[in-house]
Amino acid sequence: MSTKKTRRNFFQSITASGLATGLLSSKNAFAKGDAPLRPSYMNPEGDRYIDPRNVLLYECTRREIRERINSGQLKAAIIPTGSTEHHNEHIAMVMDIATSLLISQHAALKVFPQAIVTTPVAIGYSPYWMERQGTLTLRKDIFLGVVYDICCSMKTHGIDTILIVNGHGGNVKPLKEAAPDFSSELNIKIEACSYWDSFPKDRWREFIDVGIVAGHAGEFETSIALAAFPERVHRVTYEGTDPYKWDVDRKDLERVGYYKESFDTPESDRSNFEESKHASAEKGERIIAHAVNWLANKLQKMIG
């Protein structure tokens, strides 16, 4: 079987709804059948199949969650955060949250049944993209309030370890600043990281050829999309249309904290688009696998 066909077959199980495969030892509960798990680049030694829905909170019943918590199996929660925002001319706006959900789910499957992935926070702090039509943004306090309330909800249910896994640059500073306060206020372990924290700068060229890790809609993100959800990549010709000729009421933008930064220019837009041409599904697979392993290890250390 060709590498291309193998990759396509593997990702058919995780595209569309973000489902994924994972490892399961024979002694663990919640297995759906005894089908062997086909080896893959993420699970080279897997011998069991886990229904990937078992690590998604919103796919579970209250009984399943209750029994896992009461038995002591379920010890931690992952909260995926991201955004709904423009990703240049070629990637769907779901990119950031789709990626953080995907990677969170794979990481939870690697430590199954110890972690659950909460409903993702699909809109983040993106005021600087508000001149790019279609972008949605939350005010910083609203975004952090939603994340805090999810943490509080999970604590109420008996979870005392929470890892916030972020997929959007605008959320980084707010989450890093707020996570210690959340932890102190709720008296549980709460940490926040972005999945690209797993890539030290001196190793970037092991994964991408140009640009930077987590560069907006460039080689890095486009490679992830080509590997995990290629239907969300639209190969178009960059027309050079100026996105700033938009007559909008500034008062409306100011309500959501609009501001404009120097990187938000037509020149950077075109540059990122050109970088995306270096992307490939093979690079995306390596990126995802590396981030998943790093996050699973981080989560396991938090659980103890």
User: Does the pLDDT at position 18 exceed 50?
Assistant: no
Percent of the chain residues topping a pLDDT of 90: 68
Q: Decide: 107 and 303 in contact? Cβ < 8 Å.
A: no
CA–CA dist 254, 236 (Å, integer): 32
Residues 6 or more apart from 281 whose CB is under 8 A from it? 4, 7, 223, 226, 227, 230
Q: Which domains does the chain have, with CATH numbers?
A: 3-20+52-303 (3.40.50.10310)
DSSP 230: G
Residue 7 per-residue DSSP state: H
Which residues neighbour 212 within 8 Å (Cβ) at sequence distance 6 or greater?
204, 218, 220
pLDDT score of 284: 97
- Under the banding of pLDDT at 50, 70 and 90, the label for residue 262 is low
Q: Indicate the pairing of strand 76-81 with strand 161-166.
A: parallel
**Smallest Cα–Cα separation from 96: which of 229, 254, 190, 244?**
229
| pLDDT of 7 | 52
Beta strands in the chain (DSSP E): 76-81, 115-117, 161-166, 189-194
- Tens of pLDDT, residue by residue over 201-227, are 999 999 999 989 999 999 999 999 999
